[in-house]
Amino acid sequence: MTAPTYLPPVDKLLTYGDCRNFRNWPKYVKELGLEAEHIPELIRMATDPELNWADSDSLDVWAPIHAWRSLGQLKAEAAIDPLLSIADELEDSDWFNEDIPEVFAMIGPAAIPSAKTFLADPSHTLYARVAVAECCVKIGQAHLDARADCVAAIQQQLDQFAKNSPDFNGFLVADLLDLEAVEAAPSMERAFAARRVDLSFVGDWLDAQIALGLKTRAQVYRLRHTVDAEQLGSKAAKPAPQPQGFGAAPTRSKKGKKK
């Protein structure tokens, strides 16, 4: 298969190298002289299926990663929807899932509307939606003026907890905790109360309240032990069931009073 051709200086990304050899993201814009005029070519490279599915031993397979990182550094708003368009296809790619939230944080709040729409669409795959929710987290952390919109996007999806899978709800709760979204506590509480949150993510509602600063660890410790003690007391108060043989014992009728 012939490798796709690209115009310079974008073509240099085809042989830029294995991303595992870079501790930090290179400064592509400065090193290659990338400018706004190169954005369409970078988008084409980032979304190129031949490159994204190239041989894992080739340098070509790393080119899309360099391209979307470059788009982030250029704050390329035009790349938002094209990058979202490959999220389902690349849902199993650790590189995509870990990089795209950082890329969107660089691009900024302009990505929120598209991310919100993607997040609310159940036709998308689980891990693609998880990655996009993480995009909202990173944008909210990098742009405090947009934090409320990011919280709202995630909270709106958590409010659909009955339709979401428990593990998706677990991811959403974890994202809200990362944003320290105390304002979303009612939504979280409802999801936990409905038993629609996978507890392996952040623990139970009491644990979430600790993370939000709504309760101290000491308070939660006392609550847990009070509940445990009440449950034990309730069990102890119940009469032990009478032993049964192979069949139920015949019921004895009460004797009438002697006249």
User: How much is the pLDDT for 252?
Assistant: 44
Best CA proximity match to 69, nearest among 8, 142, 16: 16
At 4, the pLDDT band (50, 70, 90 cuts) reads: confident
CB count in 10 Å sphere of residue 206: 17
User: How much is the pLDDT for 245?
Assistant: 54
Is the pLDDT at 225 greater than 70? The verdict is: yes
120 and 163 in contact (C-beta within 8 Å)?
no
**Which of residues 127 and 244 earns the better pLDDT score?**
127
What does the angle CA 27 – CA 30 – CA 34 come to, to the nearest 5 degrees? Answer: 105
Is the pLDDT at 48 greater than 80? The verdict is: yes
Q: What is the mean pLDDT of the chain?
A: 91
User: How much is the pLDDT for 237?
Assistant: 54
119 and 126 in contact (C-beta within 8 Å)?
no
Q: How far apart are CA 87 and CA 69, in angstroms?
A: 15
DSSP class of 20:
G
Q: Is 45 exposed, middle or buried (0-12, 13-18, 19+ CB in 10 A)?
A: buried
**Which of residues 18 and 248 earns the better pLDDT score?**
18
pLDDT over 70 percentage in the chain? 86
User: How much is the pLDDT for 255?
Assistant: 43
At 138, the pLDDT band (50, 70, 90 cuts) reads: very high
Question: Which of 208-217, 236-245, 247-256 is predicted least confidently?
Answer: 247-256
User: How much is the pLDDT for 120?
Assistant: 97
- pTM of structure: 0.86
What average pLDDT does the segment 191-195 reach? Answer: 98
C-alpha atoms less than 13 angstroms from C-alpha of 62 in its C-beta half-sphere: 15
Is the pLDDT at 227 greater than 70? The verdict is: no
